[in-house]
Amino acid sequence: MAIETLSNKKSSQSANYLRHTKIPTILFESPKEVDRYVSQAVEDLIRKNNSAGKLTVLGLPTGSTPIGVYRELIRLHKEENLDFSNVITFNLDEYWPMDPDSIHSYNLWMRDTFFDHVNIPAKNIHIPQGNLDHDDIDVFCDEYEQEIEKVGGVQLQLLGIGLTGHIAFNEPGSSRNSLTRIVSLDPVTRKDAADSFYGEDNVPHRAITMGVSSILSAHNIIIMALGEHKASIVKKTCEDRVSEEITASFLQTHPHATFAIDQGAGSELTAVKTPWLVGPVVWNKILRKRAIIWLSQKVNKPLLKLEKGDFAEYQLHDLIKDGTTANNVCQGVFEEMLAGVCNYPAGKVEDKKNTVIVFSPHPDDDVISMGGTLITMADQGHDVQIAYMTSGNIAVFDHDALRHIDYVDEFLSAFNLNDDESQSIIAKMKDNLSNRKPGDPDTSELLEVKGLIRKTEATTGAIAAGVPAEKLHFLNLPFYKTGNVSKRPVGNDDIEIIANLLRKQKPDQIYVAGDLSDPHGTHRMCADAIIGALKVLEKENFETEVWLYRGAWEEYEPHEIERAVPLSPEMTVRKKFAIFKHESQKDQALYPGSDDREFWVRAEERTKNTARIYNDLGLPEYHALEGFILYRGQL
């Protein structure tokens, strides 16, 4: 039984199957469209089986990728009467050892995220048990397989994909014939999970997982991937040969497997990155620019030195037919990129002093991502303001918090300001830090201290960039205030806080983190909140220019960049010093993502690399460049 194809469903018209993939792959404009597509496949299967009086058997994943699917299924249950009473579920995996009520347990995660909000009978829910004695694991795993067989197999298996290409916890080297078992976790997998455990050292080394064969026995499979940090592994999974080194590649052998991805996750696929290599394309201005820049880089020639033969050799002769010359098309791209180099990003102050708000998801994204542009606008005399959207308090090491608590304790003693209440608070926090177990969440008092650390660092960093303290807005958006890595959905309260700031300040320009690579998801959620506020303000005839910048993980590709702001060597040093003010994030950040480089190193190398690309394309040589694109209604 195959699930319905895209053409039979009510999914976005912008989605399409991609050429040149060995797993049928559907590209969607946004993560929300992926969520709708997958949840609708689940809904259709349940309603069809309910009408026929049959059970529905689902295989379910955990992690950040399926959260949107679970939220949509909950909505369908509560608002559209989707009945889960005849649904049986089998979860893919669980850490071992792991108490089912631990905040790190997939058992608790599934209850909090999904099971407690729908009417699946408790007896129908199956999750690997992380609290088993080691001697009992093999028997449990055999019984897990038997339970799946007893109900006729999984009808629809949902999957995510790990950075190593694993499905469930089938790490590189897992056999095609593997069944449910205990496994050792790859170091990359453990590092990727470090956020959820408040540090890599707290991540278990082992897990119980359904095997590759167990997964492939499902009648239908939908695997999902979201964000640019998954782009490389998506390409290997979909385009390279089947290999035990990438267990997701075994899905190439499944007759009813579908890959559902967003733009970020699909950005490295051949049909997306270089579509002219896999079939005919409908050329437009954007695609033409991308192809010509690609050709320049491919033949290692500046734009204005490309020749007719270069276009013919790489199957791009369509770009110079009908009397159009190579020089004409290359000159157009060259002039467009040159016009985008901007020394006055907020305009010339003698023409108009503009109000600019830079929205920073975390307290350091402003200086890391666009610190040079920030300094430029402030130096040129514009009214530059920074809105820090979240506290960033979970990303501070305990030892940094303890250092600040000790400082306050010594300060109070030095000036005879001690009282019983302050000493009680200090003693309580020190006791908590000394007695907490690895992976325990912070107390509310400790979160407050860590938030103050990030706030004072942000203030000194902004001042170093030329933005005074009175021009800073600490929004502390409610969606972030869970005390955990996982956040609640962006709500109307978040949107209204932003809308009120925009109403009051009436900025001529705003800058928004538009990157898809943030492994924590906070950047995406902050962008959604800003866009929600702009939609509210549209009804009030509010207008502003919106520019998108990238975060610490990636820079825009040269064909995407619409504004490139030059950074001199002196400006680069000032930007670096502003980043240095974030002492709790220096040397070793608590959640650096998969990139081990310090944030200032990432920022400097990224901007210098962009300048090198421009230079290689034949544009004027710059020391460094920060890239931006204009927001037009889609991230």
pLDDT tens track for 432-450: 999 888 778 889 999 999 9
Question: Measured between alpha carbons, how far is 387 from 362 in angstroms, rounded to an integer?
Answer: 10
Yes or no: say if 248 and 237 are a contact pair by the CB < 8 Å rule.
yes
Residue % of the chain over a pLDDT of 90: 82
What DSSP letter does each residue of 546-558 carry, written as one string? EEEE--SS----T
76 and 107 inside one domain:
yes
- The confidence score (pLDDT) of residue 483 equals 61
Confidence of residue 338 (pLDDT cuts 50, 70, 90): very high
**Which pLDDT does position 194 carry in this prediction?**
81
| DSSP conformation letters of 525-551 | HHHHHHHHHHHHHHTTT---EEEEE--
CA angle, residues 67, 73, 78, in degrees to nearest 5: 125
pLDDT tens per residue across span 16-30 = 899 999 999 999 988
206 and 304, same domain (yes or no):
no
Contact between 635 and 573 (Cβ < 8 Å): no
Among 317, 340, 363, the domain-final residue is 340
pLDDT band at 11 (very low <50, low <70, confident <90, very high): very low
In a domain, 241, yes or no: yes
Verify that 495 and 604 share a domain, yes or no: yes
pLDDT exceeds 80 at position 388: yes
Is the confidence at residue 228, as pLDDT, over 90? no
Which pLDDT value is given to residue 12? Answer: 46
Give the per-residue pLDDT at 588: 73
pLDDT at residue 154 above 80? Answer: yes
pLDDT above 70 as % of the chain = 95
Under the banding of pLDDT at 50, 70 and 90, the label for residue 590 is low
pLDDT reported for residue 403: 95
The C-alpha R_g of the chain, in whole angstroms, comes to 26
Averaged pLDDT for residues 544-560: 90
Q: Is the pLDDT of residue 342 over 80?
A: yes
Mean pLDDT confidence for 330-358: 97
Q: What is the pLDDT of residue 24?
A: 97
* pLDDT tens, residue by residue, 260-317: 999 989 999 999 999 999 988 999 999 999 999 999 999 999 999 999 999 999 989 8
Res 323 pLDDT > 90: no
Same domain, 325 and 180: no
pLDDT tens string 234-270: 999 999 999 999 999 999 999 999 999 999 899 999 9
Name the band, by pLDDT with cuts 50, 70 and 90, for residue 93: very high
Residue 597 belongs to domain spanning: 355-396+450-630
- Average pLDDT (38-52) is 98
User: Could you tell me if 140 and 26 lie in one domain?
Assistant: yes
**CATH code for position 364:** 3.40.50.10320
Of 272, 293, 314, which residue is a domain's last?
Answer: 272
Secondary structure percentages of the chain, helix, strand, coil, to 5? 45, 15, 40
The answer on 360 and 335 residing in a single domain is no
Note the pLDDT tens digit of each residue in 104-116.
999 999 999 999 9
pLDDT score of 485: 55
pLDDT tier, 593 (very low <50, low <70, confident <90, very high otherwise)? low
Please tell me the total count of domains within the chain: 3
Q: Is the pLDDT of residue 552 over 90?
A: no
pLDDT of residue 1: 46
Q: What is the pLDDT of residue 8?
A: 41
Establish if 10 belongs to a structural domain: no
Tell me, yes or no, whether 327 and 201 share the same domain. Answer: no
Higher-scoring residue by pLDDT: 27, 590: 27
* Whether 545 contacts 508, CB under 8 Å: yes
Same domain? For 191 and 296 the reply is no
What pLDDT, on a 0 to 100 scale, did the predictor assign at position 484? 64
630 membership: H or E segment, kind and range: strand 624-630
Model pLDDT for residues 556-570, shown as the tens digit of each residue: 999 999 999 999 999
Does the pLDDT of residue 88 top 90, yes or no?
yes
Is 416 contained in some domain? no
Q: Is the pLDDT of residue 7 over 80?
A: no
CA distances 329 to 211, 290, 291, 333, Å, are: 53, 12, 11, 7
pLDDT over 70 (residue 594):
no
Confidence of residue 200 (pLDDT cuts 50, 70, 90): confident
In terms of domains, do 199 and 286 share one?
no
pLDDT digits (tens, 9 = 90+) for 459-475: 999 999 999 999 999 99
Does one domain contain both 220 and 364? no
Residue that terminates a domain, selected from 292, 313, 340: 340
Specify whether the CB–CB gap between 269 and 239 falls below 8 A: yes
Mean of pLDDT over the chain:
92
Do residues 539 and 621 share a domain? Answer: yes
Contact call for residues 495 and 525 (beta carbons, < 8 A): no
pLDDT the model gives residue 591: 62
Q: Are 582 and 364 in contact (CB under 8 A)?
A: yes
- Alpha helix (H) residue ranges in 179-284: 187-192, 212-216, 231-239, 270-273
Tens of pLDDT, residues 401-436: 999 999 999 999 999 998 999 999 999 999 999 988
Q: Which residues are catalytic, by number?
A: 171
Which residues touch 371 (CB under 8 Å, ≥6 apart)?
A: 465, 574, 575, 578, 579, 603
Query: Is the domain of 105 the same as that of 209?
Result: yes
- Examine residue 268 and state whether it is found in any structural domain, yes or no: yes
Is pLDDT above 50 for 185? yes
Q: What is the pLDDT of residues 125-152, one digit of tens each?
A: 999 999 999 999 999 999 999 999 999 9
Task: Give pLDDT, residue 13.
Answer: 46
Cα separation, 298 vs 92, in Å, equals 43
Give the Cα-Cα-Cα angle 375, 379, 381 (nearest 5 degrees). 125
Query: Which CATH number fits the domain that encloses residue 219?
Result: 3.40.50.1360
